[in-house]
Amino acid sequence: MELPFGLANLVASPGRLGEAARWQRRVEGFVLDQIGNPPARVLEVGCGKGDLAYALVGAGYSVTAIDPRAREVPIFRRVGIEEFSELGPFDHVVAILSLHHVEEIGGALDKIVSLLRAGGTLVVVEFAWDLIHVATAEWALAHLPDTSALGKHSWLERCYRGRAHDRGDEGGHLDAEAHVARWAGEEGLHSSGQMLEEIGRRFAQRSFSRRPYLYPDLGDNTSEADGLAAIEAGEINATSFCYVGAVASDRSAFTRWAGA
């Protein structure tokens, strides 16, 4: 499965890696703000290279980090959430940019619920690809660096220009929503609407915010502040969201098991 939205897939250049690193620090800060003080047991679902898991360990949490692509070293498990078989309860489950990839979102969330203690929290940062409309795509493409010298192209270019070019449409991004929807369908990605609906069935929301997402993939001089300003000016959509919810007590297997 191609994973074009991992920040590890960025085309290397100092400025872009700078924004990617800043994104990662913001994600870490957000998660740490949500999960209270250690000690606490945290499960990370879809940990990728493991940067967040290491940051949580460094902050004093007991961490298990799973991913079908995880490295085989302590704290990491090379397994999807569907097959993960260790016992809970966990105090927190954290999922950063992974839920839109899982095959069956309802089953994955049921599994997460079953692993959380009563009142345990789910912390999610997700990509809302379904909110990339024409103006958002135009803005992103206008801020893309010239990668032709590197012989590499970002997923944004491949998604819009590549598909348009395949169709002989040199105008390219004019049909951005259709290109993105077709690409997401081919990849089997869940939309933000689907994810939030399924999460809402199982968790009581504590906080929710929409944020810019595309900036780490853009040019050297495009920051999160530029993304926020464009969102506030109504020029682009916010294409990520941050969610925190508590498992509803009637949903917690551990509450039922304890007879509470």
Ligand X SMILES: C[S@@+](CC[C@H](N)C(=O)[O-])C[C@H]1O[C@@H](n2cnc3c(N)ncnc32)[C@H](O)[C@@H]1O
Binding site for ligand X (CB under 6 A): 3, 5-7, 45-48, 66-69, 80-82, 96-98, 101-102
Minimum CB separation of residue 213 from ligand X in Å reads 11
Minimum CB separation of residue 128 from ligand X in Å reads 14
Strand, coil or helix: what is 185? helix
Residues 6+ apart with CB under 8 A from 152: 11
Between 45 and 141, CB nearer to ligand X: 45
Contact at 8 Å (CB) between 83 and 109? no
Between 103 and 197, CB nearer to ligand X: 103
Strand order, beta sheet including 90-96: 76-77, 62-66, 41-45, 90-96, 116-127, 240-247, 203-211
Between 84 and 138, CB nearer to ligand X: 84
Residue 78 is encoded by which pair of tokens? 């090379």
Minimum CB separation of residue 98 from ligand X in Å reads 4
> By beta-carbon distance, which residue lies closest to ligand X?
48
Residue 38 is encoded by which pair of tokens? 């250690």
Q: Residue 29 and residue 228: Cα distance in Å, rounded?
A: 18
Residues 6+ apart with CB under 8 A from 213: 127, 128, 227, 238, 239, 240
Between 172 and 191, CB nearer to ligand X: 191
Minimum CB separation of residue 233 from ligand X in Å reads 28
Minimum CB separation of residue 126 from ligand X in Å reads 10
Between 188 and 221, CB nearer to ligand X: 188
Between the alpha carbon of residue 135 and those of residues 18, 42, 230, 235, 240, the distances in Å are: 25, 39, 11, 7, 16
